[in-house]
Amino acid sequence: MVDRTKCISCGGCIAICPVGAIKFVDGKAHIDPKICVKCGSCQNFCPMGAIDISVPDPADKPDKKTKK
């Protein structure tokens, strides 16, 4: 969801997220997919185009142990 190479850590996405799904992780924005409602506010706000809510974050891969 967040291209960490483009994120400049401005915090605008955190401030604009209506559900509090975004926080800084290692100094860059990170969207919690369990909280995100995919409203697009952060994507539309980001001045660097670092957010694409249609692309899953590779750091949020589902736990294979929970799938049976």
Q: What pLDDT was estimated at residue 63? A: 55
Tell whether the model's pLDDT for residue 68 goes beyond 50: no
The whole-model pTM stands at 0.81
Do residues 1 and 40 touch, judged by C-beta distance below 8 A? no
Instruction: Give me the domains of the chain, ranges plus CATH numbers.
Output: 1-53 (3.30.70.20)
CB atoms inside a 10 Å sphere around CB 20? 10
Mind listing the pLDDT tens digit for each residue in 1-47?
999 999 999 999 999 999 999 999 999 999 999 999 999 999 999 99
How distant, in Å, are the alpha carbons of 2, 7, 50, 62, 64 from that of 46?
10, 9, 7, 26, 32
